[in-house]
């Protein structure tokens, strides 16, 4: 099983719909992150969490919300999806070690 699992892998939704992307990890890391990647561009940070009671906004948090249900689970929600939120979304985890971040395989979201 993957260390960081994202569901769904692909999703098409309509404008105005609420959608949740889920992330779970088996690394035992405290820190979790949500990134967004647009075609040909780097990753941009949406939200991050240091533990269950700690949530922080990243570079582009507007239009998104998150929930840290447990150490292993971190969900990203789009309350009212819009077409410019069409992107590839990545969840990542990290710990205070030198192994860097571990990323999930991504969720490709299309808003029509």
Binding footprint of another protein on the chain (CB under 8 A): 4, 31, 33, 35, 40-45, 48, 50, 56, 58-59, 88, 90, 92, 96, 98-106, 108
Least distance from C-beta 90 to another protein, angstroms? 5
- Paired with 20 in beta bridges are 77
CB 99 to another protein: min, Å: 6
**Per-position DSSP letters for 21-83, written without gaps between them:** EEEEESS--SEEEEEEE-TTS-EEEEEEEEETTEEEE-TT-TT-EEEEEETTEEEEEESS--G
In the complex with another protein, the residue whose CB is nearer, 17 or 65, is 65
- Given the complex with another protein, which of 75 and 95 has the nearer CB atom? 95
**Residue 39, CA atoms < 13 Å, CB-side half-sphere:** 4
Smallest gap from Cβ 46 to another protein, in A, equals 11
Whole-number Å distance between alpha carbons of 6 and 23:
5
| Collapsed DSSP state (helix, strand, coil) of residue 12 | strand
Nearer to another protein, 71 or 102 (CB): 102
Nearer to another protein by Cβ, of 4 and 72: the residue is 4
Minimum CB–partner distance for residue 16 and another protein (Å): 27
């Amino acid at each position: 099983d993957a260390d960081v699992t994202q569901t769904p892998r692909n999703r098409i939704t309509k404008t105005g719909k609420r959608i949740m992307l889920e992330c779970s990890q088996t690394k035992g890391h405290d820190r979790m992150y949500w990134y967004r990647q647009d075609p040909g561009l780097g990753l941009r940070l949406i939200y991050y969490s240091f533990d269950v009671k700690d949530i922080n906004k990243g570079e582009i948090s507007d239009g998104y919300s998150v929930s840290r249900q447990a150490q292993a689970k971190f969900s990203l929600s789009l309350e009212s999806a819009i077409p410019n939120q069409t992107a590839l979304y990545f969840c990542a985890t990290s710990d205070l070690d030198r192994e860097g971040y571990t990323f999930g395989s991504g969720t490709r979201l299309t808003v029509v």
